[in-house]
Amino acid sequence: IVDELLKDQGAHISVCAIETETNKFKVSLRAMEGYDVGKIANSLGGGGHKLSAGFRFTSTSSKDIIEKIAPLLKKEIQG
């Protein structure tokens, strides 16, 4: 899914969060060349590579993931 999202024309970074257990999410990140999602994942306790990374997140709401990751994505895209 996350790879397909990145194929959208104009997309630079894609994010996909899947609830694997109650209140436990697996978040996958993909990026086009020139961006570093590995840095974002590492800052949230995950790992990966510059163009493909991920992390796990525990919360009662997927909205919390958006609030946590949105500023990091914005910073990465703006450089």
Q: Contact at 8 Å (CB) between 46 and 56?
A: yes
Predicted structure pTM score:
0.88
Average pLDDT of 49-75? 94
Q: Which two tokens stand for residue 66?
A: 């958006």
pLDDT band at 62 (very low <50, low <70, confident <90, very high): confident
pLDDT at 8 over 80: no
How far apart, in whole angstroms, are the C-alpha atoms of residue 79 and residue 58? 28
Task: Indicate the average pLDDT of the chain.
Answer: 93
